[in-house]
Structure 1
Amino acid sequence: MKVVILGSGVVGVTSAWYLARAGHEVTVIDRQPGAALETSFANAGEISPGYSTPWAAPGVPMKALKWMFQKHAPFSIRPKAVAEAWPWMMQMLANCNHASYIVNKGRMVRVAEYSRDCLMALRQATGVQYDHRTQGTLEVFRNQQALDGIAKDVEILKSSGVPFELLDRDGCVAAEPGLKASSHKIVGGLRLPGDETGDCFMFTTALAEKAAELGVKFHYNTAIHRARTDGNRIVAIETSIGDVTGDVFVGALGSYTPAFLKPLGLKLPVYPIKGYSITVPIVDETKAPVSTVMDEAYKVAITRLGDRIRVGGTAEIAGFNLDLPKARQETLTLSVEDLFGGAGDQSKAIFWTGLRPCTPDGTPVIGPTRYPNLYLNAGHGTLGWTMSCGSAQVLADLISGRKPEIETADLAISRYAA
């Protein structure tokens, strides 16, 4: 079949790769001049199945209210964005209960664990390089109350068979020697040895090249106008270079997917949650992280990428605004310097922002729609990099008429029908 994929971020490109491997003729369309130039460009670098956790959780509404009055808050709302974001926010709040949290986290871990296995197989098959490391993720806690509060997450890790280690202060330093000078600031940590790290942009651009070798056609610098239908089927995508026809179409436009679907009468509850990162060159190896360290207090991820440190965090409701406020950079700098002081040259930090396509329940939307030849692979939130390969393999199986290796019935857009 001829499959047309809309979007060339990490989710779109992995979808193209797996569909091409399955024998389909694949075309990818994107308005950018190359792959992975938006949300996939400078994310936190984590491949963290064990930390696949929905933001909608018990206690989050009260925490969010407190954060709004903190200078270095992990969450913020811009007043001008409230009206537009309100319906999505209400859906998210409806998921902030224990029962929904268990269901949603279970779904997310299922996709993420499978995706990590798919990535490992892909890496072995292709030899793709992307500054990857396989040394796990360590979440550090600055007070005992926060450490004690992860009991429910630990239970889900146990039930899902995800390996983990609960560490005291010395155990955290043993896993991440760069924490030695700041060890007095933490009380313990949760380590997931199966997690990985890597540069998402490097991975996506390298995989796009390999996909092209398989025959995938990439149409960059191409604006997507709308889908043209005939009855209940999509027949073409109207673009700035003309109509692009196909047998099957895949929406993988991240935060822009809802706008594409709206004229088709499909309502996808995905909202762009703004995140920020800084990329800093390492100047002292002995003080730098060896993998990813999650600073629970600020909800900031500090990741080693080759000779650089990537620091990512903040969840901001700001619509599609892409400005770079100095205050957001200050929070990221504070976290990394407080834990790994002197490891990087902050005078050379590169500041970036991206829009994470978040669903109100945290789970991505993967699978068919009521249009029999339109599929979705979107809404991965902060975990597009983590879930990309597994999501793409699932999508390729569904389009090819094969039964996926994991349960997928609860991943489709139909779960929002009620």
Structure 2
Amino acid sequence: MHVIVLGAGLLGVTSAYYLRQLGHDVTVIDRQATPAAETSFANGGQISVSHAEPWANPSAPLKVLQWLGKEDAPLLFRLRADMRQWRWGLSFLRECTPARTRRNIEQIVRLGTYSRALLQELRSDKRIQYDQRMQGILHFYTTQKEFDAALAPAEQMRALGCERRVISADEAVQIEPALAHIRPQLAGATYTAADESGDANRFVRELEALARADGVKFLMSHTVTALREAGGAIDHVEATDSEGRFQRVRGDAVVLAMGSLSPLYAEPLGIRLPIYPAKGYSVTLPVKDSAKAYQVSLTDDEYKLVFSRYTSPSGDRMRIAGTAELNGYDRDLNRVRCEAIVRRVEALFPGAGDTTQAQFWTGLRPATPSNVPLIGRTRLSNLFLNTGHGTLGWTHACGSGKSIARIVSGLKPEVDFAFAGA
């Protein structure tokens, strides 16, 4: 078959790669000139099966109310006259029950474990380099309340095969000596040795080169304008190139992997996707003092931040990313939120990074209310979804890409997951 993949980020490129591995002719369409130029450009860098507790959990409603109106809040609902936002928010509240939280954790862990194994297999087979580190991920807590709240989800994750081990503050400092500065503040930690980190943008560019060499066609700088339906299927995709020239692209199947833009293209087809853009931020700092900088990838659950470190010939960098702002499709860089991240980094690791050379970035993450992505079929016979991954696009990319490739091919996916349309 000829399969059209819409989107050249993490999910689009992994979908294209695995579709080609199954023998399909594949065309990828993206509005940017290079792959991974939007949400996948400067994300937090974690392949984090242990980051499976969704935003929607029993403690979330009270926290969201407390954070309303605070510019530096970890999760900020910027209320708008936007029906999509209100529908999403109501669905988010429905997902905050203990039973739904447990179910969502189960789905997220299963897909994450499968995806991490595929990434490791791909790295071994193809020798892809992306500033990867295989030193695990350490979640640390600076309040007893947050630490206590992490114990039950960690136990459930262990039961599902994700070895998220509960450790003491002293053990956390042994694993990551850079935390010694805040040892008096540490209430405890969890550690998942099998988790990893790496530069997602570099990974996508490496995989795109492999896919292109294997025959995948990339139409970059092409803006998709519409998906046209006929007879219960997608007849063609309409797009314009960088010079405004109109094109119709036809294929036997279409995979929608356009992140937060996905619902805008699905809605005219009568398909309502429960996805809303959650604007995230990242700060990238050159390492100023290696002895003070962390080596292990970290998660600061209280502030909803993740920390990764990239060491390559181009330099030694710290990447700190996180927070979420629900404010429609606004892409403006909010300096208050960026500077709040820098303040937290300096409080935890003073002098580790060169804050005078901080690079700020923001991107729209496609969030579902449950944090469980949409992968699978739609009511149109040849339209498939691989979208809605929120903060876990990097963690779930390979597993999602291979799964949708198998579904398009009429094969059963290899992982027990609640696939759309199944």
| Interval containing the TM-score (normalised by the shorter chain) | over 0.9
1:282 aligns with 2:290: no
Q: How does 1:179-258 map to 2 (within 5 A)?
A: 179-240=179-240, 241-258=246-263
1:411 aligns with 2:386: no
Q: State the AA in 2 paired with 1:161.
A: G
CA contact (8 A) 1:228 1:238 kept: yes
- TM-score normalised by the chain length of structure 2: 0.95
Give the direction of change, closer, same or farther, for the CA distance of 1:151–1:188 in structure 2 (3 Å limit). closer
Within 1, Cα distance between the matches of 2:301 and 2:411?
40
Q: State the AA in 2 paired with 1:242.
A: Q
How far the C-alpha of 1:164 sits from its partner, in A, is: 2.3
Q: State the AA in 2 paired with 1:350.
A: Q
CA contact (8 A) 1:302 1:336 kept: no
Within 1, Cα distance between the matches of 2:353 and 2:83?
40
How far the C-alpha of 1:296 sits from its partner, in A, is: 2.0
Give the direction of change, closer, same or farther, for the CA distance of 1:82–1:338 in structure 2 (3 Å limit). farther
Within 1, Cα distance between the matches of 2:154 and 2:205?
35
Give the direction of change, closer, same or farther, for the CA distance of 1:124–1:137 in structure 2 (3 Å limit). same
Within 1, Cα distance between the matches of 2:31 and 2:71?
36
1:293 is aligned, of 290, 298, 301, to: 298
How far the C-alpha of 1:270 sits from its partner, in A, is: 0.4
CA contact (8 A) 1:363 1:411 kept: no
Within 2, Cα distance between the matches of 1:84 and 1:407?
30
1:90 counterpart residue number? 90
Within 2, Cα distance between the matches of 1:97 and 1:328?
29
How far the C-alpha of 1:223 sits from its partner, in A, is: 1.1
2:80 counterpart residue number? 80
Aligned to 2:225, what secondary structure does the other structure show? strand
1:260 is aligned, of 237, 244, 265, to: 265
1:398 aligns with 2:403: no
Greater shift after overlay, 34-43 or 69-78?
Answer: 69-78
Greater shift after overlay, 173-182 or 7-16?
Answer: 173-182
2:34 counterpart residue number? 34
Aligned to 2:115, what secondary structure does the other structure show? helix
1:330 aligns with 2:339: yes
CA deviations on 1:126-167 (whole Å, 9 max, x unpaired) are 111100001111111112222111122122112201112222
CA contact (8 A) 2:71 2:337 kept: no
Within 1, Cα distance between the matches of 2:103 and 2:158?
15
Q: State the AA in 1 paired with 2:19.
A: L
Within 2, Cα distance between the matches of 1:9 and 1:209?
13
How far the C-alpha of 1:411 sits from its partner, in A, is: 2.4
Within 2, Cα distance between the matches of 1:70 and 1:355?
20
How far the C-alpha of 1:59 sits from its partner, in A, is: 1.8
CA contact (8 A) 1:164 1:191 kept: yes
Within 2, Cα distance between the matches of 1:72 and 1:221?
35
CA deviations on 1:262-292 (whole Å, 9 max, x unpaired) are 1111010100001000000001111111121
How far the C-alpha of 1:82 sits from its partner, in A, is: 5.4
CA deviations on 1:291-329 (whole Å, 9 max, x unpaired) are 211112211111112210001111111111111121101
How far the C-alpha of 1:185 sits from its partner, in A, is: 2.0
Within 2, Cα distance between the matches of 1:142 and 1:289?
17
| Corresponding pairs, count | 413
CA contact (8 A) 2:29 2:220 kept: yes
How far the C-alpha of 1:78 sits from its partner, in A, is: 2.1
CA contact (8 A) 1:300 1:335 kept: no
1:63 counterpart residue number? 63
Within 1, Cα distance between the matches of 2:270 and 2:251?
20
Identity of aligned residues (%): 42
Q: State the AA in 1 paired with 2:93.
A: L
1:384 aligns with 2:408: no
CA contact (8 A) 1:142 1:188 kept: yes
Within 1, Cα distance between the matches of 2:57 and 2:302?
16
1:273 aligns with 2:281: no
Aligned to 2:73, what secondary structure does the other structure show? coil
1:370 counterpart residue number? 379
Aligned to 1:288, what secondary structure does the other structure show? coil
Unpaired stretches in structure 1, ≥5 consecutive residues: none
Within 2, Cα distance between the matches of 1:49 and 1:228?
37
Q: State the AA in 2 paired with 1:411.
A: F
Within 2, Cα distance between the matches of 1:13 and 1:291?
28
Within 1, Cα distance between the matches of 2:408 and 2:71?
47
Q: State the AA in 1 paired with 2:299.
A: M
Within 2, Cα distance between the matches of 1:253 and 1:294?
27
Q: State the AA in 1 paired with 2:366.
A: P
After TM superposition, the runs of 4+ consecutive aligned structure 1 residues lying more than 6 A away are none
Give the direction of change, closer, same or farther, for the CA distance of 1:170–1:81 in structure 2 (3 Å limit). farther
Unpaired stretches in structure 2, ≥5 consecutive residues: 241-245
How far the C-alpha of 1:50 sits from its partner, in A, is: 1.4
Within 1, Cα distance between the matches of 2:292 and 2:162?
29
CA deviations on 1:20-64 (whole Å, 9 max, x unpaired) are 111110000001111000000000111101112211111210011
CA deviations on 1:60-96 (whole Å, 9 max, x unpaired) are 1001111226564211122336554101100110111
Greater shift after overlay, 130-139 or 180-189?
Answer: 180-189
